[in-house]
Amino acid sequence: MRQVVFSRKRTMSFLTGIILLALLLSACGQAQPSAQPEGSDTNQAPADTAAERTVTDAMGHKVTIPANPKRVLAPYLEDPLLTLGVTPVAQWSVQNGKKQDYLEKYLKDVPLMPYDMPPEQVLDAQPDLIIISSESMVQKGLYEQYSAIAPTYVLGDKVSSDWRQSLLTIGELLNKQADAEKAVADYEAKAAAAKEELQGVAGDQSVAILWLTKKNFYIVDPKKSSGAVVYGDLGLKAPALTVEADSDASWTSITLEKLPELNADHIFLINSDKGAGSETLERPIWKALPAVQKGHVYTMDSKGSWLYSGKIANEAMIDDVLKAMVK
């Protein structure tokens, strides 16, 4: 009889222990915060934590931007990416491997991407965000192919034609708004200081910007590319012929017959014919120009930034102008 009672007591103690253990585990479980679905908001999260969001691009596409994109592909927009501290997964190029050489020190180990962005090569790059500069780059079903690879945002020609707006927009996409705003402010300060310095040197003297390539001269639009920097940001005077060249293109062809009308005090010459040798600069019509006779022709490397636009490009141009004109 004692053995039966003893066994029952042991059994009851064992069951009581199990119940108490279960209650303890349940209480511990309730004391822990419940798990949050990935990407959901929580009161404990920092206010500046990036989150996935949906935005509308220039073509009306609803694009879901990753919270923190790590592999960004943005051909011909490498300047703003690098300004924001982002190295792209591939860089823009054209035939024979030509690229934006002024960015070489930043992109020397970054593979090339053809300018027309073949979808199979875009896929190989494994981007998690694609940023396109122009509407024309995503026609004929290309947008659908790109967006099937990764979220694809089109800046549009209106935004991409303005480097400041491009930088600020890309800053918003990459959750780097403050960095973008600071970069623009830093540039404005640098340009303003250079403008003041140049006014004491150049005064009312005029400055022309010419590009020599394949024995043909091109003159810059005063509101685009290097023209926007030299005439807009630095406040230097454009010769009459430059103003007449205003067009939809950044560079307008100028014939040798028209060249004598270029009555400029200074010429910045981007010489793409320099390597192969150019007899164009030996012609009497060139040597008769006022700037040539005064020794005020400053030859810029065609691999430099003068054919491009962006904070990095423009700051390099400002340095070139100061080096050439401020003795």
Q: Residue 246's pLDDT is what? A: 52
- What's the rounded Cα separation, in Å, for the pair 198 and 187? 16
Q: What is the pLDDT of residues 293-317, one digit of tens each?
A: 999 999 999 999 999 999 999 999 9
Report the pLDDT value the prediction gives residue 96, as an integer from 0 to 100: 78
What's the predicted TM-score (pTM) here? 0.83
Per the prediction, the chain carries an average pLDDT of 86
**Residue 220, pLDDT score:** 95
Looking at residue 145, its amino acid is Q
Closest CA to 226 of 308, 298, 168: 308
Domains belonging to the chain, first-starting first, are 53-180 (3.40.50.1980), 192-325 (3.40.50.1980)
Q: Report the pLDDT averaged over residues 13-20.
A: 38
Two tokens at 48? 């500046």
- Relative orientation angle of helices 177-202 and 163-173, to the nearest 10 degrees: 160
pLDDT tens-digit profile of 172-195? 999 999 999 999 999 999 999 999
Gap between the Cα atoms of 159 and 167, Å rounded: 9
Instruction: Compute the distance between CA of residue 149 and CA of residue 310 in angstroms, rounded to an integer.
Output: 28
- Which DSSP symbol is given to 238? P
CB-side exposure of 53: number of CA atoms within 13 Å? Answer: 12
